[in-house]
Amino acid sequence: MDSSSSGIQEPFDLIRLSLSERVFVKLRGDRELTGVLHAYDGHMNLILSDVEETIMIVEPIEGALEGQGSVKVAKRKMEMLFVRGDGVILVSPPSRT
C-alpha cells in the first residue's frame, strides 16, 4: 500500500477530502477563487459557495518593457458559483494540521 504522509491514492482524493471546506482555486486568465467546495466531478467542474474572486489585471505602462506594468486587483463576491472544469489550473485545500 502506498502510504504517503497524507495517505491518498489518487489526486482526486485530495479534492474529496476538501468537500465542505474552503478551498483556493487558481483559474486561467489570472483569476483566483476562494470558496466552500460543495461538489465536483471528473472534469473538475466545481460548485462553490460564499465565493470571492480575485482578478489580476496587468496594465502595460508606456515605455516600460514587455511584461512589466502595474497590476490592478479586482475583487468580487458571489453567493454560489459553478466553475467549468477546463478553466481550473490548481486547487488547494486548507492546510490541515
Partner 1 sequence: MDEFTPPPPDLAASPPPPPPAAISGSPTDFLKGVVGKKVIVRLTSGVDYRGVLSCLDGYMNIAMEQTAEYVNGVVTNQYGDAFIRGNNVLYISADEPL
Count of positions on this chain that bind partner 1 (CB under 8 A): 24
Residue 90 corresponds to which amino acid? L
The C-alpha cell at 64 is 516600460
12 binds partner 1 (CB under 8 A): yes
5 binds partner 1 (CB under 8 A): yes
DSSP 67: T
Interface pick for partner 1 out of 1, 2, 75, 76 (rule CB under 8 A): 2
Q: Which residues pair with 55 in a beta bridge?
A: 31, 74
Q: Which stretch binds partner 1 (CB under 8 A): 11-19, 49-57, 58-66, 68-76?
A: 11-19
End-to-end CA distance of the chain: 23
> Closest CB to partner 1 among 79 and 82?
82
